Structure formats: C-alpha cells, structure tokens
C-alpha cells in the first residue's frame, strides 16, 4: 500500500479535522502518500482530489467543521455512480480509503469495498447513534454546547420565574438530550426512544409550581416533539410562561472538546494502521474504552442500546422521580 485517500461525509461533527490530521500525519510517518477528497462522495464523483501533506493539516486540530468540506450525496447510491467513484480512485492508484462520517457514510464505504477499494470508516456524528461503536466523534462537544447553553438559559428563566424548553438535535436518537440533560440537571428529558404524555408533563409542571419551583428545564430531542409546538401547548394548558430555544446548528459548530480531539486522533491513527494490516471493510470505533475494528456486517448487526438506566437516573434526579410517569 502506497497511497491512501480520506474524505468526510454527511453531517459535519466537531473533531473531524482532528481525525483528518491524524490520518495524514500517521500515514506520512508510515511512508504513505495521502490524498484528500473534497465534499465527500459528491467530490469523489466530481474528481475533486488533491494531495495532502503534514503542512496542509497544521493548526486544524481544534478547528470546527472539516477542511475537506462535506456533503450529502444521494447520487452515490446509483449503481453507475458507485462504479464511477471506484474508477476515479483507481485512476489515482489509491490503495485504501478512510471515510469519516455517519451511517450513510458507512454505506458508501461498504459499497466501494465491494467494488475492490479497501475502506475503513471512522464514526463521526454528534448523535452517537452508530452501530458498532460506543462513541462517535462530535458527540461530547455537542453535549457540552447544550450544557453551556442551558446554564445561561436557566439563569434568565430563574430571573423571570419561567420554565424553559430547549430543543436539541436528535431526530431518531435522544443521546444528546439524555446526556446533556443528566449533566445539567434538567427536570425533564424528552427523547424519541421513550414515548411521553403531554398531559402528564403539564400536570407535573403544575405540581412543581405548587411546590415553589418556577423555572423547570425541559430538554426535548427534536424527534420526541416539536419544541415550539409543545411549548405553546403547555402554556395554553398550564398558563406557565415558557421560554423556548431551538439550539440548532450551534451544537455542531465550534472546535472539538478535549475528549473529541483525543478520540479523533486515536481513531485516525488506528484507521491508517488497519488499512496497512489488511483489516478493511470495517468500522474503526470504540468499545469499552478501547479501539475496536469491526467489519461492516458485524457492526450493523450490533444493536445500539439506548441507556435506559441513565434515563431512569435522570428521572430520579429531576422533577418526576421516575420519567416513565410522563
């Protein structure tokens, strides 16, 4: 193996640049040439491929976003475009490809592997919802952003005797809401994995008001309910003033936390070594605090378990004592 390439795909996540840097510098140290593919699979199809050197990745470890840029590319799921992508890589004599991204990125990498391009994938998504790994690059940073925002929102909600509802990302997985809610002491955490009753939530808020609490924090994953709609409904039902904040892309932006920077650096180096050792068509993730290389099929079959124990703990420490009550 003499040449490898790296791309970032799907939604950006803090720490992607740290992973790119690790891939480039590890590969260079091991005598490989490295190419960067701009804009993910879309850039691959457009032949946007350039040499990457150690100097190119200098100073990017704490930068948010991705210097390679990213894109969602539905066109890559057409068979003719898949073959085109593989042929372009072969034209550059690329011996292996490192993909950094989420579930859709894994699907693209698996397709290229079946077309004769050795690939490995580094999990990068703020949702931490990928099969085959305990951690994904960007999740810790997103959780910290939510916690910091809630801390500020709680101050002003308390000053005005208002409840506060904060909608966070998580259309299909509530890990950001759960982890941030537990970390910041939210009274209520709403996630798509656990159905809740609006009426029971309203009654619980009224009970809290009777006990003298006027500034409850509700963290709502976008997949659990529409934050603005829920806030309006709760106000009409309870007459409690509720300030609503939809955090949106602030959760993705900014430099990575130390945890994500270290994670990305470790996984980037491990990905290069996996390619050299012939451990391809695999996800390079984490399991029980250690790097684990798991082939795509095995990773896909490994269930991503929602931390119900953590959710129940948040309920005990929050306003409901047991969140199943709402």
Active-site positions read: 127
In angstroms, rounded to a whole number, what is the distance separating the alpha carbons of residues 270 and 276?
A: 10
SS3 191: coil
Given a contact cutoff of 8 angstroms between Cβ atoms, the answer to whether 66 and 20 are in contact is: yes
In angstroms, rounded to a whole number, what is the distance separating the alpha carbons of residues 205 and 177?
A: 19
Dig out the tokens for 48 from the structure. 């946007």
In angstroms, rounded to a whole number, what is the distance separating the alpha carbons of residues 282 and 275?
A: 9
Helices (H), 160-281: 175-184, 198-210, 227-238, 258-276
Dig out the tokens for 75 from the structure. 């066109």
Nearest alpha-carbon partner for 102 in 201, 199, 228, 9: 9
Dig out the tokens for 117 from the structure. 């391009």
């Amino acid at each position: 193996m003499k040449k490898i390439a790296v791309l970032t795909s799907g939604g950006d996540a803090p720490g992607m640049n740290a992973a790119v840097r690790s891939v480039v510098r590890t590969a260079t140290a091991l005598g490989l040439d490295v190419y960067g593919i701009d804009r993910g699979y879309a850039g691959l199809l457009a032949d946007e491929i350039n040499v990457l050197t150690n100097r190119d990745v200098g100073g990017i470890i704490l930068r948010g976003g991705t210097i390679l840029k990213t894109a969602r590319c539905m066109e890559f799921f057409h068979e003719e475009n898949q073959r085109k992508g593989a042929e372009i890589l072969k034209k550059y004599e690329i011996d292996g490809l490192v993909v950094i991204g989420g579930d859709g990125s894994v699907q693209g990498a698996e397709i290229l592997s079946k077309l004769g391009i050795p690939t490995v994938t580094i999990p990068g998504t703020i949702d931490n919802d990928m099969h085959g790994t305990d951690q994904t690059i960007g999740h810790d940073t997103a959780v910290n952003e939510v916690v910091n925002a809630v801390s500020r929102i709680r101050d002003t909600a308390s000053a005005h005797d208002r409840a506060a509802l904060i909608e966070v990302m998580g259309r299909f997985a509530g890990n950001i809401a759960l982890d941030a809610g537990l970390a910041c002491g939210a009274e209520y955490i709403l996630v798509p994995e656990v159905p809740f009753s609006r009426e029971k939530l309203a009654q619980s808020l009224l009970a809290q008001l009777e006990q003298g609490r006027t500034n409850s924090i509700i963290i709502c994953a976008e997949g659990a309910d529409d934050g603005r709609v829920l806030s309006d409904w709760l106000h009409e039902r309870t007459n409690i003033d509720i300030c609503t904040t939809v955090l949106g892309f602030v959760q993705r932006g900014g430099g990575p936390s130390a945890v994500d920077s270290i994670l990305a650096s470790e996984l980037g180096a491990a990905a290069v070594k996996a390619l050299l050792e012939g451990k391809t068509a695999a996800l390079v993730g984490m399991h029980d605090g250690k790097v684990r290389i798991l082939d795509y099929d095995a990773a896909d079959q490994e269930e991503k378990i929602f931390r119900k124990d953590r959710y129940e703990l948040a309920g005990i420490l929050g306003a409901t004592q047991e969140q199943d009550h709402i």
